[in-house]
Structures are given as structure tokens and as C-alpha cells.
Amino acid sequence: MTTFPAGEQTHQAVLPQQPALESVGADTPGSRDETARGHPATARGTGRKHGRGETDGRGTGPRRRHAETSASAMETAENGSGDVPTHGHAYTGGIGASRVFVLSKDGRPLMPCHPARARELLGKGRAVVARQVPFTIRLKDRTLAESEVDGVQLRIDPGSKGTGLALTDEKKEADEQGATVTVRRGLISVELQHRGDQIRMCMQQRAGYRHRRRSANCRYRAPRSNNRTRPGGWLPPSLRHRVDTTVSLARRMCRYAPVTEIHIERVAFDTHAMSAGRPLTRAEQQQGTLAGTEIRSYLLTKWNRACAYCDATGVPLNIDHLRPRSRGGSDRVSNLVLACVPCNQAKGSTPVEIFLAHRPDRLAKILRQVRTPLHDAAAMNATRWRLTEGLETLGRPVHAWSGGRTKWNRTAMGLGKTHTLDALSVGCLDHESGDAIVRLPVQVLIVKATGRGSYARTTPDRFGFPRLRRARTKQHFGYVTGDLVRAVMPTGKWAGTWTGRISVRAMGQHSLTTTAGRFNVRYRNLRLVQRGDGYGYATRQELVPSPSRKPVERRANSS
Ligand SMILES: [Zn+2]
């Protein structure tokens, strides 16, 4: 797990932030971000607030070019597999620095503020650093009662490997015609990386040890009666971990930010929105409406992203009617399959029974699969239901949405596919009447579940023989594996200042992981930044698809 490059540091008490976009006027009411007091009016569709020191396309640095190339690469990859239909539009909103959490004097959450504002408050001594990662400041001179807090929404896109979380604020604004539209701004993006695979591997390893002990030491013992039951609602540990870490991170977000409602993507497909009997319009089949997107994602999952007739993958896939519409075939999902372009054209308006007359086994397979509902989706949804139940204990209203709607919002806004951008797109967004996402944070905080070590005191080699014996204590010379530290190396190849996650050794020669690599540090050269909490932290740039905007040189850091 790597953490921040030390070169991005901007304040001795502040972990690397995005460079200030433009200086904010000192203590002017208009710049009081954390209270949202006196916000200047915003030009719709840009998310630009000059009064708050934001100018479009600033402060993203040279990495932007990489983001663009990967964005276009991802787009072609998605289009190549026929996943996302080609939309003409690109993302038209703005980008901005990831916000900083602000707590009041009494420790209650206020509106997150711009990093420049946080630096200002810290420099004037009006605030103190409450936590390094995620960076949180606490005001020394204002309580919650004296502040205006609008509230933010927490949006969650659960996934198997990673979960995206986004804090947004939504404002009603009048557009040019005077109609009221909702504009959504992304404040903070977090990507939670799960360790379900590791947990699964550890459980298998434990089972292996137990099997070996059983056969080696208790060879003649009678089998124990199989009277174990699992409690209702039991989930495998790897899946439960996914639910638990997500709820726990959401709880922390509610502690640091004034979350008023939680939006979660709960089901992959909204079967209501698919509205089976209604004819699909041509636009719907290719791109477009919510119902069309739902059907596309459903079919892609059901047919495993492959052509139903020739099993081709990685090619553009069309929606094909088993019984052609010209012969009275319906648009129900039970009449739809995915076909590659050659197969689709070869079939034309032939009924499937005639088209596959010479391949009866293939015909039988398709007819069987087309009638089977999606069981995998149901299993996946079970975890999501548990997640929703867990989130409901946080005391905020929880709204559940479908994955098809997320994708619909995301493609309509011209955003790329990452967990955090998905999270930003979760929920109701009526873009046909002008609602839009007008800002997204350029930096994403990656929170990787690392665990807190293992109880086992012996590390085996890959054959199960003891390799090394660990000490009884976890702490060595004041540090525990997982602590976030700053190292000052006086000499040598790694001379300089580094920030990263430490892995301790009993002799005091600890191992530090940074973005540039891993090296050994004597404990005397370390300073504790934050105690390990079972997570490793890093940042990455958000995937910002903005071909229209030229990258601007990064400003020199004033550190
Ligand atoms: Zn085919």
C-alpha cells in the first residue's frame, strides 16, 4: 500500500492536497465554504465559483494527459464490447479540488471546505488538524449552533473488488429559461478497496491446517455429528467483510460530514423500468432511455457479454430478437439475446428455429437460457440488501436505486467508468429537464482494507513448514505495522522526506512503503503521522474526460 508522495506536501501540518486553485479572500463572507453562507450565484453547467476561488481546468497538473488517454482507451474498450453505446456528448461540467472535512468547536460536522480555505484557517490559528487522513480540521472558534449547515448526500456504489463513495451537495437553481433544475456537485470521492479475496484465501488456509491436524493427530477419532447450523442471514466472511467495511466507512463519513441522506445502488437491474411488454424504440435499443439501459445491462450479464450464436466476445453486440419483430415477436426480455454484428445480420428476420435448424444443441441451449431468470444477480443483490440494512442503522434516510439508472446518468453526463464516478451518478437525476453534475473532485482518496495483522505467530513457507516466528508483541520501538509515518532519511539513495505506511520489524529496522518504492528505515528517523486503523490510504487522480480543455501547468507548491 503506497501513500502520498512527499513532494506534494503544501503545509507542514497538512498532508498533500491539491494545490490551491486561486487564493480565497481572507474571511470574506462569500468564501465561507464550510457554512455555505453567502454563496455567490453559480453559472449553470460549469460548476464554477470564482468567488470561491475556482476556475475551470486549473490545478490538475501534468497527469491530466494520462487521465485523458486512459479515458479514451476505456471508452473504446467499452464500446468495443458493445457495453456502452456511443453518446455524442462529453462531460461538460467542471472539476475542483477534493474538499476537506471540517468539524466545529464541539466536534460536530460542518460543510466540507476548500483546501485553500483550510490552509488559511490553519495558518491563522483558527483551526487545528483533527485527523490527517482523511484530512479533517476542527475550528477553534465556532460551534455547530453558530454555523449554517446545508447538509450533504452520501452516494454509494457497491462493487465486489471496490466500493465507490461520493459526498455531494445538491442545489436547486434556475436555468436560462427560469425553470428550476438540480445541480449536483461532487465534494469528496473515496474508493474503498476490499480484501474479500485475501479473506477467502486465509479461510482456505485455516481449513487446510485443520484438516491436516485432524488426520495427523486424531486419526481414529469418530467423526463429529454434523449438527452445526448457520444463523439466519449468514454471509460468507469475505462477503460480510464487504458489508461491514462499507457500513463502517459510511459511519465515519457521517461523523466527519453533515450527511443528511444516503443513496445507494442496491439492485443491478430495475425490473420495473425494463417494462417488459412495451415496444423498444430504435433509440432505446442503441442508447438512450433508462428502460433501454436497464435492458442492455441485464442482457450483458445474462449472456455473459458474448454473442449467443457464436460465443464471440470483445466485439460490438447488438440486441437480437429471437422471434423477429416483423413476425410478431415481442420486446420482452425473454425474446431478446445478444448477437455479434455478423450473426445479427446473417439472422436478419429469420426466426431462430430456422436460423439454427442445423445446430439443434445450440438452439436448445439458447431456448433454455432465455427462460432462466438471473440467479447470480439475486445472490449479488442479497449482499446489497444487507448493506442497505446496515446503512439504515446510521439514522439517515436511505434511498435505493438501480445500477441501470446509475449507468444511464453516468453516460448522459459523459463520465467515464470508475467506482467513484458511478457513486457520483447514483440516484435520481432528471437530465432530460436539465439536471446535471457540474463538478467532480479531481482527487480520489483510496482506502484499502488491509486488516490488522494476524493472530498466528508462526509464518509458514509455501509448503506449510515454519519459516519464521514472530514476536509476541505487535509494537516495536513505538510503531505498529500499518502506522502512517513520515521518514527523514539523512543520507543514501533514499535521502529526503517520505510519507508512507510502515511495516515493523523486531530489530527496529522498519520497512516503509512509498509511491517510489519500499526501503528500510531506522525507527529513529521516523515520526508518527497517524496510527494504523486497519486501512491503508493513498490518492489517485479522477478519470476526467475533458477533451475540450487544455491541461494547465501545475503551479509551484509553496511549501
Ligand atoms: Zn456471433
pLDDT at 74 over 50: no
pLDDT score for 258: 96
- In contact, 543 and 423? CB cutoff 8 Å: no
Helices assigned H by DSSP within 14-83: 64-80
Q: Flag the least confident range among 213-217, 359-363, 427-431.
A: 427-431
- Give distance in angstroms: CA of 416 to centre of ligand 1: 28
- In contact, 47 and 185? CB cutoff 8 Å: yes
- Give distance in angstroms: CA of 339 to centre of ligand 1: 5
Q: Count of residues for the chain?
A: 559
pLDDT score for 420: 94
- Give distance in angstroms: CA of 366 to centre of ligand 1: 13
pLDDT score for 130: 94
- Give distance in angstroms: CA of 341 to centre of ligand 1: 7
- Give distance in angstroms: CA of 79 to centre of ligand 1: 17
Burial per residue of 469-485, b for 16 or more beta-carbon CB atoms within 10 angstroms, e otherwise: eeeeeeebeebbbbbbb
Q: How wide is the angle at C-alpha 482 spanned by C-alphas 479 and 484, nearest 5°?
A: 75
Q: Is pLDDT larger for residue 234 or for residue 110?
A: 110
Burial per residue of 306-325, b for 16 or more beta-carbon CB atoms within 10 angstroms, e otherwise: bbbbeebeebbbbbbbbebe
Residue 84 covered by a domain: yes
Cell numbers at 10, concatenated: 503544501
pLDDT at 367 over 80: yes
- Give distance in angstroms: CA of 330 to centre of ligand 1: 21
- In contact, 340 and 315? CB cutoff 8 Å: yes
- In contact, 322 and 336? CB cutoff 8 Å: yes
- Give distance in angstroms: CA of 41 to centre of ligand 1: 53
Give the list of residues 6+ apart from residue 295 with CB closer than 8 angstroms, or none. 274, 280, 284, 319, 333, 336
- Give distance in angstroms: CA of 342 to centre of ligand 1: 6
- Give distance in angstroms: CA of 86 to centre of ligand 1: 21
Cell numbers at 162, concatenated: 471496490
Say what percent of the chain tops pLDDT 90: 34
Instruction: Give one DSSP letter per residue of 180-243, joined into a string.
Output: EEEEEEEEEEEEEEP-HHHHHHHHHHHHHHHHHHHHHH-TTPPPPP----PPTT---HHHHHHH
Most confident of 14-28, 221-235, 526-540: 526-540
Residue 500 belongs to a domain with what CATH number?
Answer: 2.30.30
- Give distance in angstroms: CA of 318 to centre of ligand 1: 10
Residue 316 belongs to a domain with what CATH number?
Answer: 1.10.30
- Give distance in angstroms: CA of 359 to centre of ligand 1: 14
- Give distance in angstroms: CA of 396 to centre of ligand 1: 48
* pTM attached to this predicted model: 0.69
pLDDT score for 315: 86
Cell 438471473 maps to which residue? Answer: 374
Residue 465 covered by a domain: yes
Domain enclosing residue 434, as ranges: 6-39+51-195+243-266+379-448
- Give distance in angstroms: CA of 303 to centre of ligand 1: 12
As a whole number of angstroms, the distance between CA 153 and CA 273 comes to 24
For residue range 466-523, list pLDDT tens digits in order.
Answer: 898 888 888 999 999 999 999 999 999 999 999 999 999 999 999 999 888 999 999 9
| Total of domains in the chain | 3
Whether residue 508 is found in the same domain as residue 391: no
pLDDT band at 278; cut points 50, 70, 90: low
- In contact, 312 and 303? CB cutoff 8 Å: no
- Give distance in angstroms: CA of 476 to centre of ligand 1: 61
pLDDT at 82 over 50: no
As a whole number of angstroms, the distance between CA 308 and CA 295 comes to 16
Whether residue 250 is found in the same domain as residue 393: yes
pLDDT at 51 over 50: no
Whether residue 183 is found in the same domain as residue 260: yes
pLDDT at 175 over 60: yes
For residue range 448-461, list pLDDT tens digits in order.
Answer: 999 988 888 888 88
> Given 413, 448, 483, which residue is the final one in a domain?
448
Say what percent of the chain tops pLDDT 70: 75
- Give distance in angstroms: CA of 367 to centre of ligand 1: 16
- Give distance in angstroms: CA of 306 to centre of ligand 1: 8
Average pLDDT over residues 311-340: 85
